[in-house]
Amino acid sequence: MSHDLGNGDLQMSTSTLSLRLGAAWYPEHWHADDIKRDIDLMQELGINSVRVGEFAWSKFEPVQGQFNTQWLEESMDLAHAAGIGVVLCTPTAAAPAWLFAKYPDLGFVRPDGYRYGHGGRQAADYAHPDFRAHCQSITTVIAKALGKHPSVIAWQTDNELCGHQKLNVSEHAVAGWHEWLKQRYVNIDKLNAAWGTQVWSQAYNSFDQVPPPYPLANWAHNHSLHTEYRRYMLDNVLSFQRQQVQIIREHSDAPITHNSEDSVDEWDLTRDLDFASQDLYTRERPLGNILYRHDCFRSLLPGKGFWVMETESAGCLDDDLYPEGKLANFAMASYCSGATGLSYWPWRQNISGSEIVGHSFMVYATGDKATAWDGVAKVSALRKQLEPILSTFEPAPASIAFVRSERNGNAYYMDRIAGLEANFDFRGKLEAHHTTLQAIGTWRDVVFDQADLSDYRVIVSPYLPYTSADFLRQMQAHLQNGGIWIAGPYTGYLTEYHTNPTNALLGEFERIFGFQTRHWVKINTLPVTLADGTQATSSMHAHSFEPSNEDEVLGSYNGAGLAGQAWGLCRKVGKGTLYILGSELDDVAREQLYKTVMAREGINGYIMPEGIQRIPQVSGDGKHAWALVNNLTTDQTIQLPTTGCDLLTGQPVEQTLNMPANSNAFVVFDQPVLG
């Protein structure tokens, strides 16, 4: 059976790329006549996929042990007859009322002791053995009945895992915590040594004495406990998903994904999946974050494509409805960034429930066309234009890997945030560096620290306090072979267990690469003068360094305390170059620093006007192109490196391209263009 997801690895029957345009569809809410009208309207609009079933447990199993899948099979028959593929979901995100009635302790428990009940999503405890057993049962029934239906192009596990249930201290979770600790540490003495539990008489005699992160009279537990509990929570939800994946694979050969909303470690989440998917509502995010998310998902499972499984189909911008072309802008950026599917939430306006307002849709509850219709129609037309183009072109390989690490994110989520600052925004701080790389015009991937980094020339890794042995080995090889590593700020200052290293202030990172950190102090702000004379303001922690004769000083601290001490170093390692940054800089200075480093290392950048997205493309026969998106409501003029042809209009272009408001272009160049 062929499951045409629009990707060479997953599509087996055709050489022409089939891009998916879809919507979340809830036939369980509607009568037969409504369902038939939906199918007719989808065909008219050009919708070629639907996602179904993620909240329909009580429809599938209205009473324990009494299953009904026929209602959905009939709707899937209609979709298949209309040429509409189905993404089939496990319905475990919304457990039915009878299950909560049967197990009064089914709800997960907040650290303050409140236990959730029926009525919302993700209220049931991922660690509860009876909940898991019922999840396995309903997944098995659906997979057996519908897994080989000809409409099924993919599966989705659950829905937005950890979106609502992030921290759980139920009885079952705590029992699992103790077992997890036993597996990880084997004996309690090893845990005590790793965590340094001699502080505040925290030493334990057995694993069952180790509490979850209940509220305390003071501000926080041992930071090792907090970090490890979050790792345990991740492993718990991964095993929950893995049980469903294993069942699906027994009964269906369709590829499996999950719609992540960035609430869980997406590297680990996707290891059991066939392709990655994200929910990305653009009205809630600045453009820089959208680019960050696309850069990340393109790289999670290379060569597999990714989906935007949920986004909005309409909205307001600057006190008016979305401008004409805005939806097509996002679709262009998504498809050209490597997405092979784009799906709106929902197809039809909800008739009841807690989401009857606040979301957009293509069809009203009445069955009439909504304001989103025309915008999605433009996306449908664009999809058809892009299919032959993106059968030939794909995102160009990036020379820069921007490293993210949710393992390290755990270290920043602590109460008082390890002494940095209250309410520390780890992702915001991290993404500010990615935004800087965007601003200076570089093309980059966002790559997790567990990934293979060997194909990149430049590694940029801010906010990486724990550097694993595997990551450091990769960096040694990278530098020895002539690569560039911009390390920091805040690299290496914590161990795996969220403790301070004792072999050097920056731990194994410092020991292996042979530099010397002189001081580490908590600051509010300190003035810094960079080597080119740029005046900067540093903040948060300040690491200062003792340069060797071979080191180049990247900048120096001013002010009485650290006056004259090195803010950053540049040193040769093998054939490569290591840049070590000592603290966070203000946005303007950070941009100047990155621009200087990229220029000296020969990394090309093409600076676009703010609001313009540039997505470099390459074809199998070596042609270069740029996908260009004007997200602005004003016309823009873009300077191109050479002449070419815009494949969306079929017109030749000179080195100056005029882009109307909210327009797109796909310019194939007459000559190769690097970067």
Cβ pair 346, 309 in contact under 8 A: no
Partnered with residue 626 across adjacent β-strands are 616, 667
Which helix (DSSP H) or strand (DSSP E) does residue 139 occupy?
A: helix 129-146
E-strand ranges in 80-230 read 85-89, 152-156
CB neighbours (10 Å) of residue 528?
Answer: 25
CA distance 84 to 242: 28
N- to C-terminal Cα separation, the chain: 39
Token pair recorded at residue 669: 């160049």
Q: What angle do CA 488, 493, 495 make, to 5 degrees?
A: 125
Rounded-to-integer distance, Cα 640 and Cα 609, Å: 12
- Cβ-based neighbours of 613, under 8 Å, separated by 6 or more: 287, 291, 333, 627, 628, 629, 631
Q: Quick one: how many helices (H) and strands (E) in the chain?
A: 17, 29
Residues 57 and 67: their CA atoms lie apart, in Å, by: 10
What is the longest distance spanned by two Cα atoms in the chain? 80
CB 596 within 8 A of CB 577: no
Q: List the one residue out of 618, 595, 590, 592 whose CA is nearest residue 606.
A: 595
Is 537 within 8 Å of 589 (Cβ atoms)? yes
The two three-digit tokens of residue 254, written as one number: 């369709």
**Cα angle for residues 600, 605, 607 (degrees, 5° grid):** 130
Number of neighbours of residue 477 by Cβ within 10 angstroms: 14
Catalytic residue (choose from 54, 61, 160, 510)? 160
Burial label for 111, CB within 10 Å (0-12, 13-18, 19+), is: middle
Which of 411, 432, 576 is closest to 498 using CA atoms? 411
- Give the separation between CA 563 and CA 556, rounded to whole angstroms: 7
Residues ≥6 apart with Cβ < 8 Å to 23? 42, 47, 50, 51, 313, 343, 344, 345, 346, 347, 362
Q: 382-402 as b/e, with b when 16 or more CB fall inside 10 Å? A: bbeebeebbbbbbbbebbbbb
Identified catalytic residue from 310, 312, 431, 510: 310
**310 catalytically annotated:** yes
Q: Which helix (H) or strand (E) holds 310?
A: strand 306-310
Structure tokens at 467: 């550097």
The answer to whether 91 and 55 have CB atoms below 8 angstroms apart is yes
Amino acid (1-letter code) at residue 516: Q
Cα Rg, the chain, nearest whole Å: 26
- 113 touches 171 (CB < 8 A): no
Strand partners, 581: 568
Closest by alpha carbon to 581, among 466, 460, 476?
Answer: 460
Q: Phi, psi (5° rounding) for residue 313?
A: -105, -5
d(CA 617, CA 391): 12
DSSP 209: G
Q: Are 593 and 530 in contact (CB under 8 A)?
A: yes
Cis peptide leading into 346, omega within 30 of 0?
A: yes
601 among known catalytic residues: no
Q: Which residues are catalytic?
A: 160, 310
